[in-house]
């Protein structure tokens, strides 16, 4: 039996391997430097160039670039017309921003439980949460696996709701050969460094509806419009603030980085999928370690590789396994604490334990392992060795 690093033994790795990391090449640096030497640091030609390339990449008609994934969700919530008194169904197993965007608009997030095998929003649970006040559903492509959009579309059409995809994990993923970014009325992406591509911080919303695009372009710029005819009549300084908007603009040098990164997206998704296949294969022999189920009709973008511990086959809890993996040099993480358990939601919306039992149980058992395109074959082996070592030592 190997001695765990936690107990003073030799760790599998000396240097911590993070769970996610950006891939920045010389071409990315050159693209950013070129913009820094130009006249336009923001609101210049780089923004539409990136938006057009992003829309083309996912096969949507339009893309709107904003300053973060959170801003993308907020713009989508605004464009969807969510306001005071509106309810929006969101999954419990997600990052807080999915629900926060509803609260930003003074709506009420209504938490629905997830499927135990995939941890994706369960369409049956969505339907159970619909009331006459429901305005929209925000699906989350958790870990990078697209939700069941055929079933979700049937439900939203039946009740006349807007369907938003929180696609922050899933750039490059597919559902029944259709790309993420085309599966909902509005799809929100994050360009944070651990995501599919990065602009440092950044976000994008894709849609096929030009009216929604117009609303989001105004929203990201303080709610300001500048009407050509008025400027002719009154003066070139004239503009009007017609909505309560924000400064959610993405800079030109960030857009240049995004455009440069986008070219390598397909290769990076393939690399993530190859790492996941290797993990699946290695962990199939470990009774205490289960991979999440991947449906046969999807192409998984693997922003995260999440394992679910079979606690009945271990003599310790998740926290101990987590600490042991960290001690072995893996920068493991947990995605996520169910949102309805956060103090803000308990206080403001009266949520709490028992509301979404599947998500709550899963939360006690999940761990995200390192997965990112620039990982070496040795890094992959270290992950497999560390998980096998820890699961072996703690196995019953
Ligand atoms: C599911 C989900 N939604 C929204 C966000 C927010 O994205 P950002 O960090 O770019 O604001 C994240 C970020 O981690 C996320 O994982």
pLDDT on residue 218: 98
Alpha-carbon distance values, 72 to 55, 65, 168, 204, 217 (Å): 14, 8, 9, 6, 11
pLDDT digits (tens, 9 = 90+) for 171-181: 999 999 999 99
Probe target for ligand 1 pocket from 19, 68, 70, with the most ligand atoms within 8 Å of CB: 70
195 among known catalytic residues = yes
Cis peptide, bond prior to residue 305, ω within 30 of zero: no
* Segments of the chain with pLDDT less than 50: none
Probe target for ligand 1 pocket from 168, 194, 199, with the most ligand atoms within 8 Å of CB: 168
- Considering 135, 174, 195, 389, which one is annotated as catalytic? 195
Atom of ligand 1 nearest to the CA of 335: 16
Distance from residue 71's CA to the centre of ligand 1 (Å): 9
Taking the CB of residue 7, how many other CB atoms lie within 10 A of it? 9
pLDDT digits (tens, 9 = 90+) for 267-282: 999 999 999 999 999 9
pLDDT on residue 232: 87
Residue 4 three-state SS: coil
pLDDT on residue 231: 84
Relative to beta strand 203-207, strand 62-66 is: antiparallel
pLDDT on residue 227: 83
- Judge residue 229's burial from the number of C-beta atoms within 10 Å of its C-beta, 0-12 exposed, 13-18 middle, 19 or more buried: exposed
Question: How far, in Å, CA of 15 to CA of 142, rounded?
Answer: 28
Atom of ligand 1 nearest to the CA of 71: 11
Distance from residue 39's CA to the centre of ligand 1 (Å): 31
Q: Cite the beta strand spans of the chain per DSSP E.
A: 17-18, 62-66, 87-91, 108-112, 134-140, 162-166, 174-175, 178-179, 186-190, 203-207, 224-225, 240-241, 289-291, 298-299, 305-309, 330-331, 366-369
What strand order describes the sheet that includes 305-309?
289-291, 305-309, 366-369
pLDDT on residue 306: 98
pLDDT on residue 184: 98
Residue pair 82/107 in contact by the 8 Å Cβ criterion: yes
pLDDT on residue 226: 85
């Amino acid at each position: 039996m190997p001695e765990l690093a936690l107990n003073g033994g030799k760790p599998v790795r000396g240097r911590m391997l993070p769970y996610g990391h950006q891939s920045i090449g010389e071409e990315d640096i050159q693209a950013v430097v070129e913009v820094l030497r130009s006249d336009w640091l923001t609101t210049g030609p780089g923004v539409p160039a990136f938006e057009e390339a992003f829309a083309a990449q996912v096969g949507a008609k339009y893309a709107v670039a904003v300053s973060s994934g959170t801003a993308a969700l907020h713009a989508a919530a605004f464009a969807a017309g969510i306001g005071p008194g509106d309810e929006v169904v969101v999954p419990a197993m997600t990052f807080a921003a999915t629900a926060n965007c509803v609260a930003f608009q003074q709506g009420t997030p209504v938490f629905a439980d997830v499927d135990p095998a995939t941890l994706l929003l369960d369409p049956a649970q969505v339907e159970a949460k619909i009331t006459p006040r429901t305005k929209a559903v925000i699906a989350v492509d958790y870990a990078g696996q697209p939700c069941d959009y055929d079933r979700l579309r049937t439900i939203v059409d039946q009740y006349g709701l807007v369907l938003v995809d929180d696609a922050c994990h899933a750039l490059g993923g597919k559902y029944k050969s259709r790309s993420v970014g085309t599966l909902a009325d509005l799809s929100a992406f994050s360009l944070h460094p651990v995501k599919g591509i990065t602009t440092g911080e950044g976000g994008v919303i894709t849609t096929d509806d030009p009216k929604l695009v117009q609303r989001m372009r105004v929203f990201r710029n303080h709610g300001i419009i500048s009407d050509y005819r008025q400027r002719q009549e009154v003066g070139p300084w004239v503009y009007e603030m017609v909505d309560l908007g924000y400064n959610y603009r993405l800079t030109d040098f960030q857009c240049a980085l995004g455009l440069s990164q986008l070219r390598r997206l397909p290769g990076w998704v393939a690399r993530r999928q190859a790492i996941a296949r290797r993990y699946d294969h290695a962990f199939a022999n470990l009774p205490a370690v289960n991979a999440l189920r991947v449906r046969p009709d999807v192409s998984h973008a693997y922003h995260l590789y999440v394992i679910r511990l079979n606690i009945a086959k271990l003599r310790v809890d998740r926290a101990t396994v987590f600490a042991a993996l960290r001690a072995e040099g893996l920068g493991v993480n947990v995605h996520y604490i169910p949102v309805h358990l956060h103090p803000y939601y308990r206080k403001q919306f009266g949520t709490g334990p028992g509301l979404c039992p599947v998500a709550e149980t899963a939360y006690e058992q999940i761990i995200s392992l390192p997965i990112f395109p620039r990982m070496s074959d040795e890094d992959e082996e270290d992950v497999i060795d560390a998980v096998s070592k820890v699961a072996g030592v703690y196995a019953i």
